[in-house]
Amino acid sequence: MLQDDDDREDEADLIVAAEKLIDATMALLIRECSGIVCLCLPDDTVRALELPPIAAANGSRYGTAFTVSIEAREGVSTGVSAADRVTTIRAAIAENAQPGDIVSPGHVFPLRAMPGGVLARRGHTEGTVDLAILAGLRPTGVLCELMNPDGTMARGARSSASLKCTACRC
pLDDT recorded at residue 6? 61
User: pLDDT, tens digit, for every residue of 51-71?
Assistant: 999 998 888 887 789 999 999
For domain 2-163, give the fold.
DHBP synthase (3.90.870)
Residue ranges per structural domain of the chain = 2-163
User: pLDDT, tens digit, for every residue of 114-129?
Assistant: 999 999 999 999 999 9
Cα separation of 135 and 122, whole Å? 19
Cα separation of 129 and 114, whole Å? 10
Residues 6 or more apart whose Cβ sits within 8 Å of residue 168: none
CB 115 within 8 A of CB 42: yes
Mean predicted lDDT score pLDDT of the chain? 89
User: pLDDT, tens digit, for every residue of 23-51?
Assistant: 999 999 998 888 799 999 999 999 999 99
pLDDT recorded at residue 59? 83
User: pLDDT, tens digit, for every residue of 72-100?
Assistant: 999 999 999 999 999 999 999 999 999 99
CB 84 within 8 A of CB 78: yes
* CA 99 to centroid of chain Cα atoms: 19
Q: Is the pTM here over 0.85, yes or no?
A: yes
pLDDT recorded at residue 147? 86
